[in-house]
Structure 1
Amino acid sequence: MEEKDVYTEDGTVDIHKNPANKEKTGNWKACRFILGNVLIVSPTFFLHYCLIGGPGPAENGLVSPVLLGNECCERLAYYGMGTNLVNYLESRLNQGNATAANNVTNWSGTCYITPLIGAFIADAYLGRYWTIATFVFIYVSGMTLLTLSASVPGLKPGNCNADTCHPNSGQTAVFFVALYMIALGTGGIKPCVSSFGADQFDENDEAEKIKKSSFFNWFYFSINVGALIAATVLVWIQMNVGWGWGFGVPTVAMVIAVCFFFLGSRFYRLQRPGGSPLTRIFQVIVAAFRKMRVKVPEDKSLLFETADDESNIKGSRKLVHTDNLKFFDKAAVEIQSDSIKDGEVNPWRLCSVTQVEELKSIISLLPVWATGIVFATVYSQMNTMFVLQGNTMDQHMGKNFEIPSASLSLFDTVSVLFWTPVYDQFIIPLARKFTRNERGFTQLQRMGIGLVVSIFAMVTAGVLEVVRLDYVKSHDAYDQKKIPMTIFWQIPQYLLIGCAEVFTFIGQLEFFYDQAPDAMRSLCSALSLTTVALGNYLSTVLVTVVMKITKKNGKPGWIPDNLNRGHLDYFFYLLAILSFLNFLVYLWISKRYKYKKAVGRAH
């Protein structure tokens, strides 16, 4: 086998910083390590292994299954807190509906903002592997403190009666310190794990490149295995056994995930950090403004670029020149004052075409990124308004068992677990016949379908609330805590949200990784995650504004503590209208987007 066939061509190295050997690293070589995680948190993969007789989804493109198990455990821990957090805040910290909902969305939003920190560190200095390795310890420390805050006398909320507790300021402070330690820890995991997994495929190898597209589907599938267990087993433990056990179990799961992550180290391919992406961006901006009066030549081949096939940016291939955002091409125009000596240039005066195209790629992604914020606002309702709506309904499943309202999110997870393989194995091949696109749908088309489905999810939730309020009105049940209307009427809205996730969130993961410059993939993955953060913050703003406006003149408002006297249906319809308007904007943006092209080998 020739040397070029033995080693990857995308610039990746192994854990010892040697060129990554295709035979010994990447792909699904770490499959043996998944069994430990499977036995704990991923029965679906285990059954596939035992019944079918193979490594399961790994053969269809899953790289480093241990990564998927690690993410599965991390998601188990995250959803084990977030799914039922609104009920903890109400029952143990004595917060009202609106306050608890806002605290959940604020924390969840922070969990999707901190990835910008982790992504910058990964791309600029540590690389994805070492960033994950560092931040998991912060995450586990936060989980441990959270468990202690819910179980250790003196730290856990005191003065409890049957329904609620009255914690002191110190107990509340410990809880929120733990919660935001977790938010910081997840900042180094979220933007790196999906990109790190995709890094295990060499884009210059056609066989491996085909597998990469499926990776994102199965990656999201593994996330929802963790979410499924969180929404069922963990929520039940929290509501029936105790919050200490409810937080302790995912803490142990995360510790086990960390151990297996490190055990698979010798099989990983590591992308070398390319230096500060923000520095390179500002260099292009500064150089372009310095040459405002310089004319860009008609022949774009005259623009400055490195002479060989490799980019001068570590871990990055060259990018082909594009005609959009032409102003920044001025940064690559070579003039006499640039004084190139011995091949060295001042990057604050002259930038390569690839460096200019990095900035263009980021700017081009921003409009698509912005349209994901409203979708994330819709998604955030599962942990807030859907739960509060379910709290007012009959939660009995049989005579003696009550299902916690937060556990209804398991139907969202079931929907994801159903639609992910269906999309990967059936919809893509079918769509491919009509679109002639190897992915079936383009990434932008896939995301657009999800946006449409999310509109129907909000309409469905609004219709259910209308029916529920009609019952309250007709039976004068305004002060009745729960009405005799089964909570399982909420299932359709959860199923629709899950379907929308498969199209929009997975499409977004793949889109931002694929369209990101090679040396900025962690940053762009973090950028895609910030839509969830801003979606949660937007939900907080909407709730605050809606309550301020609708509580005038002594009215209870749309979302009072007693939802029977409110109009939660109006809030759902407001989100449906915003989603529809957002979709129209998305159509306009997506029609004008041009996909990037990369050439050559990575440095």
Structure 2
Amino acid sequence: MEVVEDKHTKDGTTDLKGNPAIKKETGTWKACPYILANECCERLAYYGMSSNIVNYMKDRLNQANAVAVNNVTNWSGTCYATPLLGAFLADAYFGRYCTIATFMIIYIIGLILLTMAASVKGIEPVCHNGVCNPTSAQSTVVFVALYLIALGTGGIKPCVSSFGADQFDDSDESEKKSKTSFFNWFYFSINIGAMIAASVLVWIQINVGWGLGFGIPAVAMAIAVVSFFLGTPLYRHQKPGGSPITRIAQVFVASLRKSGAKVPDDKSLLYEVSDKESAIEGSRKLEHTEQFKFFDKAAVQTQDDKIDSTVNSWKLCTVTQVEELKSLVRLLPIWASGIIFSTVYGQMSTMFVLQGDTMDPHIGPNFEIPAASLSIFDTISVIIWVPIYDRIIVPVARRITGNERGFTQLTRMGIGLIISIFSMVAAGILEVIRLQMVARLNLYDHEGYLPMTIFWQVPQYFLVGAAEVFTFIGQLEFFYDQAPDAMRSLCSALSLTTVALGNYLSTFLVTVVTNITTRNGQLGWIADNLNKGHLDYFYWLLAILSLVNFLVYLLIAKWYTYKKATDF
């Protein structure tokens, strides 16, 4: 009997047919290349289209700087908000595999429509002497395409990283250790795609044409689909556990109904199913924790509950169901602390690009590097730091701290928050130097490039990349690891919404700053002519917000309690 048990995974995963997954035939690193290749191509498609979209809106849709920046941040924010929908469908009904497969089709339709909007006569804007005058219909087509892409990402972003992590069994120590490395290499594959996008595709968009520049991402997405389906026989699947929102609501309602009930001192008396598996499909039982004791009332068995022959989950919930809600509530402050970080990260596709547009992009006499392509140095930073972190920093930290991961997940994220402060300081210092050159040479009305190389922006991009390796990868692992089994897609989506809210916060800050600083006829901090603006003040504002955010994060991290799950 023991041999049969060892043959299968112990985390509840199944094969495609719903049978218990066989360890030697499914999952682990043999399934991951298909998932990582899918993510690499999908990210190439996304960044190949999004890295330079602010310039497309300025040049082809004839939008002002502040309008283009806000349109991009609103769209980008939506790309990171729609994962809540995809995650809900994956956790509740379809599973991660089917959700990814369905939403990839919507994604490709959006990319094809965007390519047509940039290349098909009658749909693309008409331009004369470098000035484009798009009709409202032509602009609408672009935004429909962009928001179809945003919807498509909603089913992919929250599911792919969780689906890849599902390939490793938590109850197997060697597989559990590999899972930590998986998140590092998952993010590594994202940045390989991003590097190709920021270099090759942005250059094609500017020097060859937007049609080809958007068409290549559509082809890349098609390759992503093929790669994902090729790995089908090897995948492990977590069963969908039903609507997590319903289960959360049930705990709230049951707690309120029993607000007068007394929670027993012996927590083993709280209600839980007696068999080994929990009442939630595909989920392990969670041990009771002491925080948020009010919700424990939902698991108190009253005399009426004992008389009823069937359990009404709106009146009585299991300890595991209560702990699901507690886990989610504990995650919320950590989640909120990532919003400012995401605002800083979002500057790479907006303010960094606008700042770079004013600087000399030449490499030698004949070649120019577009400002949007400079994000390649963020990508290079990630590609350098991932193997350094995984192969050098973690083993050294492991010997010092005794923690299997090297650093705790919360410590890792905190380090990234510190680095992000310095990225804004670096961008602010560069802007001060740039404006001093403008003043010294009286170049306020100069329409060309300043005699200052764009490569002075490299340090700020490099610092953002280093911060990503600590904070974003730490978030991926933390929200997957700390999520209840049946809510992993939802919690992964929750971590992604920090990027959405970070973009929306950026939009809000730009709008408020513009309204305040343009009063009485002033040009404002973010003027259309940045030589007459004060973009450095905006960077200082973000640096101060990041510092305050980090100090609050220290308090949150000290308060946090890690979850404890039992094996199947």
TM-score by shorter chain over 0.5: yes
User: Partner of 2:332: helix, strand, or coil?
Assistant: helix
The answer for the alignment partner of 1:41 in structure 2 is none
151-160 vs 523-532, which deviates more?
151-160
1:454-504 CA distance string (max 9 Å, x none): 000000000000000001011110011221100000000000000000000
User: Partner of 2:28: helix, strand, or coil?
Assistant: coil
> Is the aligned partner of 1:241 residue 2:208?
yes
The answer for the alignment partner of 1:55 in structure 2 is none
1:91-149 CA distance string (max 9 Å, x none): 10000110101111001000000000000000000000000011000000101111111
The answer for the alignment partner of 2:95 in structure 1 is 127
Q: Counterparts of 2:150 and 2:461 in 1: how far apart (Å)?
A: 25
User: Partner of 1:463: helix, strand, or coil?
Assistant: helix
State whether residues 10 and 567 of structure 2, in contact with CA within 8 Å, keep that contact through their aligned partners in structure 1. no
Question: Post-superposition shift, 1:339?
Answer: 3.9
Q: What amino acid does structure 1 have at the position aligned with 2:563?
A: K
The answer for the alignment partner of 1:252 in structure 2 is 219
The answer for the alignment partner of 1:19 in structure 2 is 20
State which of 316, 326, 331 in structure 2 corresponds to 1:350: 316
Q: Counterparts of 2:271 and 2:19 in 1: how far apart (Å)?
A: 31
Q: What amino acid does structure 2 have at the position aligned with 1:348?
A: W
Question: Post-superposition shift, 1:23?
Answer: 1.3
The answer for the alignment partner of 1:435 in structure 2 is 401
> Is the aligned partner of 1:492 residue 2:459?
yes
The answer for the alignment partner of 1:8 in structure 2 is 9
> Is the aligned partner of 1:111 residue 2:112?
no
Q: Counterparts of 1:17 and 1:297 in 2: how far apart (Å)?
A: 39
Question: Post-superposition shift, 1:250?
Answer: 1.1
State whether residues 395 and 406 of structure 2, in contact with CA within 8 Å, keep that contact through their aligned partners in structure 1. yes
Question: Post-superposition shift, 1:308?
Answer: 1.8
Q: Counterparts of 2:350 and 2:156 in 1: how far apart (Å)?
A: 24
1:361-412 CA distance string (max 9 Å, x none): 0000000000000000000000000000000011111101111000000000
Q: Counterparts of 1:71 and 1:28 in 2: how far apart (Å)?
A: 15
User: Partner of 1:225: helix, strand, or coil?
Assistant: helix
Q: What amino acid does structure 2 have at the position aligned with 1:74?
A: E
The answer for the alignment partner of 2:280 in structure 1 is 313
The answer for the alignment partner of 1:409 in structure 2 is 375
Q: Counterparts of 2:37 and 2:333 in 1: how far apart (Å)?
A: 33
Q: Counterparts of 2:230 and 2:468 in 1: how far apart (Å)?
A: 32
Question: Post-superposition shift, 1:539?
Answer: 0.1
The answer for the alignment partner of 2:38 in structure 1 is 70
1:28-56 CA distance string (max 9 Å, x none): 224xxxxxxxxxxxxxxxxxxxxxxxxxx
Q: Counterparts of 2:176 and 2:12 in 1: how far apart (Å)?
A: 15
Task: Mark the runs of 5 or more structure 2 residues left unpaired by the alignment.
Answer: none
> Is the aligned partner of 1:398 residue 2:364?
yes
State which of 250, 261, 273 in structure 1 corresponds to 2:240: 273
Distance of aligned partners of 1:290 and 1:197 in 2 relative to their CA distance in 1, 3 Å threshold: same
State whether residues 286 and 564 of structure 2, in contact with CA within 8 Å, keep that contact through their aligned partners in structure 1. yes
> Is the aligned partner of 1:176 residue 2:152?
no
State which of 463, 474, 495 in structure 2 corresponds to 1:507: 474
Superposed counterparts of 1:186-201, under 5 Å: 186-201=153-168
User: Partner of 1:270: helix, strand, or coil?
Assistant: coil
Q: Counterparts of 1:565 and 1:28 in 2: how far apart (Å)?
A: 54
Q: Counterparts of 1:12 and 1:340 in 2: how far apart (Å)?
A: 36
User: Partner of 2:164: helix, strand, or coil?
Assistant: helix
Q: Counterparts of 1:161 and 1:381 in 2: how far apart (Å)?
A: 30
Q: What amino acid does structure 1 have at the position aligned with 2:68?
A: A
Question: Post-superposition shift, 1:159?
Answer: 3.0
Q: Counterparts of 1:8 and 1:195 in 2: how far apart (Å)?
A: 17
User: Partner of 1:251: helix, strand, or coil?
Assistant: helix
Aligned residues: 566
Q: What amino acid does structure 2 have at the position aligned with 1:451?
A: L
The answer for the alignment partner of 1:97 in structure 2 is 65
Q: Counterparts of 2:29 and 2:415 in 1: how far apart (Å)?
A: 31
The answer for the alignment partner of 1:555 in structure 2 is 522
> Is the aligned partner of 1:153 residue 2:121?
yes
> Is the aligned partner of 1:203 residue 2:170?
yes
1:517-551 CA distance string (max 9 Å, x none): 00000000000000000000000000000000000
Q: Counterparts of 1:523 and 1:160 in 2: how far apart (Å)?
A: 48
The answer for the alignment partner of 1:544 in structure 2 is 511
The answer for the alignment partner of 1:519 in structure 2 is 486
Distance of aligned partners of 1:290 and 1:93 in 2 relative to their CA distance in 1, 3 Å threshold: same
The answer for the alignment partner of 1:42 in structure 2 is none
The answer for the alignment partner of 1:425 in structure 2 is 391
> Is the aligned partner of 1:461 residue 2:462?
no
RMSD, matched Cα: 0.9
Q: Counterparts of 1:576 and 1:478 in 2: how far apart (Å)?
A: 26
The answer for the alignment partner of 1:374 in structure 2 is 340
The answer for the alignment partner of 2:262 in structure 1 is 295
The answer for the alignment partner of 1:473 in structure 2 is 439
> Is the aligned partner of 1:228 residue 2:195?
yes
1:328-371 CA distance string (max 9 Å, x none): 000000001124555x3100000000000000000000000000
Superposed counterparts of 1:329-348, under 5 Å: 329-339=296-306, 341=308, 344-348=310-314
The answer for the alignment partner of 1:37 in structure 2 is none
User: Partner of 1:25: helix, strand, or coil?
Assistant: coil
Q: Counterparts of 1:260 and 1:299 in 2: how far apart (Å)?
A: 52
Question: Post-superposition shift, 1:4?
Answer: 0.9
Q: What amino acid does structure 2 have at the position aligned with 1:115?
A: P
Task: Mark the runs of 5 or more structure 1 residues left unpaired by the alignment.
Answer: 31-63
Q: Counterparts of 1:29 and 1:467 in 2: how far apart (Å)?
A: 51
Q: Counterparts of 2:144 and 2:128 in 1: how far apart (Å)?
A: 22
Q: Counterparts of 1:3 and 1:122 in 2: how far apart (Å)?
A: 30
Question: Post-superposition shift, 1:257?
Answer: 1.3
Q: Counterparts of 1:459 and 1:569 in 2: how far apart (Å)?
A: 9
> Is the aligned partner of 1:143 residue 2:144?
no
Q: Counterparts of 2:307 and 2:126 in 1: how far apart (Å)?
A: 70
Question: Post-superposition shift, 1:158?
Answer: 1.0
State which of 547, 550, 563 in structure 2 corresponds to 1:596: 563
Q: Counterparts of 1:207 and 1:401 in 2: how far apart (Å)?
A: 49
Q: What amino acid does structure 2 have at the position aligned with 1:366?
A: L
TM-score (norm 2): 0.99
**What percent of counterpart residues are identical?**
69
Q: Counterparts of 1:562 and 1:260 in 2: how far apart (Å)?
A: 45
State whether residues 11 and 567 of structure 2, in contact with CA within 8 Å, keep that contact through their aligned partners in structure 1. no
Question: Post-superposition shift, 1:450?
Answer: 0.2
User: Partner of 2:452: helix, strand, or coil?
Assistant: strand
Q: What amino acid does structure 2 have at the position aligned with 1:21?
A: I
User: Partner of 1:485: helix, strand, or coil?
Assistant: strand
Q: Counterparts of 1:409 and 1:484 in 2: how far apart (Å)?
A: 21
Q: Counterparts of 1:222 and 1:379 in 2: how far apart (Å)?
A: 18
The answer for the alignment partner of 1:359 in structure 2 is 325
User: Partner of 2:262: helix, strand, or coil?
Assistant: coil
User: Partner of 1:484: helix, strand, or coil?
Assistant: strand
Question: Post-superposition shift, 1:263?
Answer: 1.6
Q: What amino acid does structure 2 have at the position aligned with 1:541?
A: F
> Is the aligned partner of 1:165 residue 2:132?
yes
Q: What amino acid does structure 2 have at the position aligned with 1:153?
A: K
